[in-house]
Chains A and B, each alone.
Chain A
Amino acid sequence: MSLTLELEGDTVVVARRRFAAPPEDVYRAHMEPALIQQWLLGPDGWSMPVCINEGRVGGKIRYEWSNGDGQGFYLTAEILELDPPHRIVHVERMHLPDPTPDNRVETTFTADGEGTLMVMRMSLPDAATRKAMLETGMEHGMEASYARLEDQITSTMPAG
């Protein structure tokens, strides 16, 4: 079930993951704001108070994240192609608050037994942008994983 990441050439990152639900459900979870707001949240403690996804080709996407403590950032995107429930193509950038270069993301959902194989192909404009994106991911990932490890340690250590 776990996620694999692969680098292709200098500018592409491909993520693959399986889900125990049919493509229809996984597709909806990527397109419907009420569902997106329940999982696309990053580390524990973050929420998505604003979630706009117009759900049509040419439509706009805007996701805003907040840690409830004054920190936050947002993403804007445009939907380029939709083939429900199999394929979503959009172009996105993060606003930190300066916008990052455009990331073209093609996400496909293929039936795989009773579940779904998701392949997400992220194409960055150049190698330096891809490196910067990976670094940003690393920073967020570091915070989240260390927070989780801390939780594990706290819960397995005898109190006091």
Chain B
Amino acid sequence: MCYIAVVSAAERLDAAFGALADPVRRAILLRLVEGEATVGELAEPFEISQPAVSRHLKVLEGAGLIVRRVDGTRRPCRLAPGSLDDLDDYLARLREALEINYSRLDRLLAATRASTAEPHERKKEGRKS
């Protein structure tokens, strides 16, 4: 069941993985968290051309992470609804980041307990097993 969940997540996220693997595209997404922006505005902080930014935007659009609308000659981009656009999502990500450290701390605490346990306690554990 775990296997199926992982594989279906893999299929669903395949495009998103590719899109998120690139630091420029991640930076573009973070910029869009602040609101809608045009290609020119998105290209500004990077030392790359507008056509290069446009190629990145196509990848993000293909992965369903952003949407674009037509406004005269402009095609401003924004995060796709439900993508990365609210505080709950930030919190979920931050929770994952912190949890990586704390599950490591769990293992460290368990190892510390085991190595400082009284000898007779360890013997008891040994007999149990």
Q: Which residues of A are in contact with B by a Cβ distance under 8 Å?
A: 1-5, 7, 13, 15, 17, 19-21, 25-26, 29, 35, 38-44, 131, 134-135, 137-142, 144-146, 148-150, 152-153, 156-157
Bound-state Cα–Cα, A142 to B89, Å: 11
B101 partner residues in chain A, CB cutoff 8 A: 39-42
Question: What is the CB-to-nearest-CB distance from A118 to chain B, in angstroms, rounded to a whole number?
Answer: 8
How many residues in B have their beta carbons less than 8 Å from beta carbons of A? 36
**Nearest Cβ in chain A — how far from B46, in angstroms?**
16
B99 near A138 with CB under 8 A, answer no
B91 on the A face (CB < 8 A):
yes
By DSSP majority rule, is chain B's interface helix, strand, loop, or mixed?
A: helix
Contact call B102/A141, Cβ cutoff below 8 A: no
Distance in angstroms between the alpha carbons of A143 and B94 in the assembled complex: 11
- Shortest CB-to-CB span from B65 to chain A, Å, is 12
CA–CA, A40 and B102, complex, Å = 8
B91 and A1 contacting across the interface, CB-CB below 8 Å: no
Chain A, residue nearest B9 (CB): A149
Which of B6, B9, B97, B102 is close to A140, meaning CB atoms less than 8 Å apart?
B97
Complex A-B, nearest 5 residue pairs according to Cβ-Cβ distance, in ascending order: A137-B94, A141-B97, A141-B93, A138-B93, A21-B109
CB atoms of B90 and A2 under 8 A apart: no
Is B17 a contact partner of A138 (Cβ separation < 8 A)? no
Q: Complex Cα distance A29/B97, Å?
A: 18
CA gap between A145 and B105 in the complex, in Å: 18
CA distance A20 to B92 in the complex (A): 23
Instruction: Write the chain B residue with the least CB distance to A30.
Output: B105
* Interface flag for B118 (CB, 8 Å): no
Nearest neighbor of B17 in chain A, beta-carbon distance: A146
Query: Among A3, A7, A43, which residue has its beta carbon within 8 angstroms of that of B102?
Result: A3
Question: Which of B9, B90, B98, B112 has the most chain A CB atoms inside 10 A of its CB?
Answer: B90
With A7-B87, A134-B94, A156-B7 known to touch, is A39 a contact of B113 (CB < 8 Å)? Answer: no
State the CA gap A38–B93 with chains docked (Å). 22
B123 at the interface (CB under 8 A from A): no
CB closest residue in chain A, given B98: A3
Q: Among B9, B10, B26, which residue has its beta carbon within 8 angstroms of that of A139? A: B26
Determine if B20 and A152 form an interchain contact, defined as CB atoms under 8 angstroms apart.
no
* Chain B proximity of A116: nearest CB distance (Å): 9
